Structure 1
Amino acid sequence: MAGIGTARRVVITGIGVVAPGGIGTKQYWELLTAGRTATRTISLFDASPFRSRVAAECDFDPVAAGLSRREIRKWDRTTQFAVTAAKEAFADSGILGEAEPHRVGTMVGTACGMTTSLDREYAVVSDEGKTWQVDAEHAVPYLYDYFVPSSMAAEIAWLADAQGPVGIVSTGCTSGIDVLGHAADLIRDDLADVMISGASDAAISPITVACFDAIKATTPRNDDPETASRPFDRSRDGFALGEGAAIFVLEELEHARRRGASIYCEISGHATHSNAHSMTGLRADGRELAESIRAALDQARLDPGDVGYVNAHGSATKQNDKHETQAVKRSLGHHAYSTPMSSIKSMIGHSLGAICSLEVAASALTIEHSVIPPTANLHEPDPDCDLDYVPLVARERRVDSVVSLASGFGGFQSAIVLTKLRIDR
């Protein structure tokens, strides 16, 4: 991995968002800073048979988003989100036509790929699950694209005439951070000047809900969906499923300067570790995530005391919130107690691979606007979670550096560091 000390630095010059409660970056930021929640009873399908019937759905109209009827018919909801967010990122950065096509790459993250379409089409070819011998005659012609998530990256690359590196990163719930770290490395290693990167997931479907029901990871608070996601609260009982996408234009700093691009922040460090022993178990001392935080800060050449805000994974499961709290203490030391930390999953749910990119978008906007989004629904903190989680109300505060965190099934623990651009380096 190329170090941050190399000459090539990576900045964010464009952001596009599709999120629960807000399509577009402006609406998304307004929802977060207002502390509003977008969790509700699932409406995308009949969820009455399931234990958890709460999710944060996107009020997404593909026609209003400018997609053609052919695109709507062909693309899974995940791809529709990703393309819509990418278009906003292109417009925000003004990058189209400003870079050599072979120096522009595309790298997209996803945990579940085209779950919605695969779930729907399996029901069709199996006659609602009545037969093991599925009938391919009833399959849509786009089924192959649904099986191969790289089709999503290809669609975005074609849209931007991006002829450089292209690919998919799928590391579960850390995908949205890891894909940005990988894309940034491609720029640092001089394999691209521009990377279109981010993550998308639209997995609010029967199969996904059933899987999380089986391990009791999601909240059963069906009678109060608006406050069902309660990170760090004593009463938390699991996460609320979500969906969405955030796509960024990442650019080599001098390339961005030459064309006069506006810069949100710099991607200064990224690290990921595996606990290599459990699919879902987390050590109480937070050691694995702490290692990622320290490695990312080292790459960014920051001391623990330089961190101005921690954007938490904050999934609202009993295990994760304690693990993450200990990891921040372990990596930041005494500074952890004076560092604001919040979880936006309290407002937009947990969109699996996409959520980390949505959290990076929130982190970049925190630096841009000097406002820290709150942790909604945090009324009675767990005594074991004793840091400053910015409860209920957003906080105005200048932030020059953010660490955004993620934990994922498989034992993956990732951290990414964003910093306000410093010209003295």
Structure 2
Amino acid sequence: MITGIGVRTAGGNSTKEFWNLLTSGSSATRRISFFDPSPYRSQVAAEADFDPVHEGLSPLEIRRMDRASQFAVVCAREAVADSGLEFDTVDPSRVGVSLGSAVAAATSLEQEYLVLSDSGRDWLVDPANLSPHMFDYLVPSVMPAEVAWTVAAQGPVTMVSNGCTSGLDSVGHACQLIREGSAEVMLAGASDTPITPIVVSCFDAIKATTPRNDDPEHASRPFDRTRTGFVLAEGAAMFVLEDYDRARRRGARVYAEISGYATRCNAYHMTGLKTDGREMAEAIRVALAESRTAATAVDYINAHGSGTRQNDRHETAAYKRSLGEHAYRTPVSSIKSMVGHSLGAIGSIEIAASALAIEHGVVPPTANLHEADPECDLDYVPLTAREQRVDTVLTVGSGFGGFQSAMILRRPTGGVR
């Protein structure tokens, strides 16, 4: 059960702001301001207006933690406050953390390299000038450890790095730990802050990001015939997860039940996807089976929707293969059209959007969808949010390496809400 949510994205400095952005159909993408983007093919991104001082982080925390860790800790604190759970009443050995990230401390690693090498001029560097916190930047497991310290969690603490499915897989792993009895409460989610020259250069090299630099707000166009690639982003989302009985006993507000999860790999290509969507369809099938949910019960699909042609047609095929004719009757949308693609973090951010869709009875739109791709012939909820009752959501992720993940969220029942 999701009993607490914390989100930070471009255009969203709280869960409430994030949801308001999604339902408005507005895009938070803009020209990159963190560094001079003019040398790069793609010069747009979804940057968060994140102020660590305003967020309550101490000078020591700001100095010690990479930006991605700061996002994770701030979101964890918001989720904890939102849940109303008094963590000092829970056995700390029964509290765990599962955090996802694709590129971890890329921001600080690049900054340190630029300082030590005089912006790449010097091949040999003086280790005496190295930051004392370099270990924290090099070892990704420091990120979930920072989150664990916020609630003194002494149970299982795990880092999940499966590329762009990390945020789904970290939450799926947390649910499995609760179901098997390894933990009673989990802080789970993901964080990534990849808007750095080296990451931008990497995606430039494979032409995955959009070169539509003259119109940043409309650059992310999932399922649109005129799409030209995804928009890089930063962000994080964290959740407090509890089992049903614990949530019910304490009268917790429950956003949604995570009732099914599965992940598969296509063992095919590092970045390529087959057009038939078979691996994603299999993940969806298994997630539905674990949830004991019929395909016809799905009310909304929160798509991966990155805005690349091969992804859009791949997941469209996967929905048809897994849901059959019901796929044509099911609204589908991509929030990446508004908050960009924050790599490993986006799966958790999309879980938050899915839970809030159930909570509020609103399907977020796919912004910037003006010219539907003939190969993508489902109901992609163009431009404007749609009010409707949402009881069951399918949210999916697709990542480099061939990872395909699916999760089912349902409206809570049995007197818990």
Quickly name the TM-score band, shorter chain normalised.
over 0.9
Partner in structure 1 of residue 319 of structure 2: 328
Q: Secondary structure at the match of 1:264?
A: coil
* 1:36 paired residue among 26, 49, 69: 26
Q: Secondary structure at the match of 1:281?
A: coil
Check conservation: 1:201, 1:245, Cα contact below 8 A: yes
* 1:75 paired residue among 65, 81, 93: 65
Cα distance in structure 1, aligned partners of 2:365 and 2:341: 16
Cα distance in structure 2, aligned partners of 1:284 and 1:124: 44
* 2:9 paired residue among 10, 19, 22: 19
Correspondences of 1:143-162 after superposition (within 5 Å)? 143-162=134-153
Cα distance in structure 2, aligned partners of 1:152 and 1:226: 31
Correspondences of 1:136-147 after superposition (within 5 Å)? 136-147=127-138
Q: Are 2:279 and 1:312 aligned?
A: no
Q: Are 2:335 and 1:344 aligned?
A: yes
Q: Are 2:95 and 1:92 aligned?
A: no
CA deviations on 1:211-237 (whole Å, 9 max, x unpaired) are: 000000000000000000000000000
Q: Are 2:401 and 1:410 aligned?
A: yes
Cα distance in structure 2, aligned partners of 1:120 and 1:424: 50
Q: Are 2:46 and 1:53 aligned?
A: no
Cα drift, residue 131 of structure 1: 2.7
TM-score, structure 1 normalization: 0.96
Partner in structure 1 of residue 54 of structure 2: 64
Cα drift, residue 132 of structure 1: 2.8
**Gaps spanning 5+ residues in structure 1: where?**
1-10
Cα drift, residue 134 of structure 1: 2.7
Cα drift, residue 37 of structure 1: 0.4
Q: Secondary structure at the match of 1:249?
A: strand
Check conservation: 1:98, 1:259, Cα contact below 8 A: no
**Gaps spanning 5+ residues in structure 2: where?**
none
Cα drift, residue 133 of structure 1: 2.5
Cα drift, residue 246 of structure 1: 0.1
Cα drift, residue 335 of structure 1: 0.2
Cα drift, residue 315 of structure 1: 0.2
Check conservation: 1:274, 1:288, Cα contact below 8 A: yes
Partner in structure 1 of residue 176 of structure 2: 185
* 2:110 paired residue among 97, 114, 119: 119
The one-letter amino acid of 1:317's match is: T
Check conservation: 1:314, 1:320, Cα contact below 8 A: yes
Partner in structure 2 of residue 364 of structure 1: 355
Cα distance in structure 2, aligned partners of 1:358 and 1:305: 25
Partner in structure 1 of residue 185 of structure 2: 194
Q: Secondary structure at the match of 1:43?
A: coil
Q: Secondary structure at the match of 2:398?
A: strand
The one-letter amino acid of 1:79's match is: S
Cα distance in structure 1, aligned partners of 2:14 and 2:119: 36
Partner in structure 2 of residue 6 of structure 1: none
Cα distance in structure 2, aligned partners of 1:86 and 1:153: 10
Cα distance in structure 2, aligned partners of 1:97 and 1:263: 20
Between the aligned residues of both structures, percent identity stands at: 63
Partner in structure 2 of residue 260 of structure 1: 251
Cα distance in structure 1, aligned partners of 2:12 and 2:415: 37
Check conservation: 1:15, 1:249, Cα contact below 8 A: yes
Cα distance in structure 2, aligned partners of 1:285 and 1:167: 33
Partner in structure 2 of residue 204 of structure 1: 195
Partner in structure 2 of residue 106 of structure 1: 97
Cα distance in structure 1, aligned partners of 2:386 and 2:89: 37
Cα distance in structure 1, aligned partners of 2:315 and 2:123: 43
Q: Secondary structure at the match of 2:33?
A: coil
Q: Secondary structure at the match of 2:88?
A: coil
The one-letter amino acid of 2:12's match is: G
- Work out the number of aligned pairs and report it: 415
CA deviations on 1:352-406 (whole Å, 9 max, x unpaired) are: 0000100000000000000000000000000000000000000001011101010
Q: Are 2:274 and 1:283 aligned?
A: yes
Cα drift, residue 97 of structure 1: 2.4
Cα distance in structure 1, aligned partners of 2:308 and 2:385: 23
The one-letter amino acid of 2:344's match is: G
Cα distance in structure 2, aligned partners of 1:374 and 1:135: 51
Which stretches of structure 1, 4 residues or more, deviate above 4 A after TM superposition?
Answer: none
The one-letter amino acid of 1:351's match is: S
Check conservation: 1:292, 1:414, Cα contact below 8 A: yes
CA deviations on 1:318-374 (whole Å, 9 max, x unpaired) are: 110010100001100000000000000000000000001000000000000000000
The one-letter amino acid of 1:247's match is: M
Q: Secondary structure at the match of 2:56?
A: coil
Cα distance in structure 1, aligned partners of 2:90 and 2:82: 15
TM-score, structure 2 normalization: 0.98
Cα drift, residue 107 of structure 1: 0.9
Cα drift, residue 424 of structure 1: 9.8
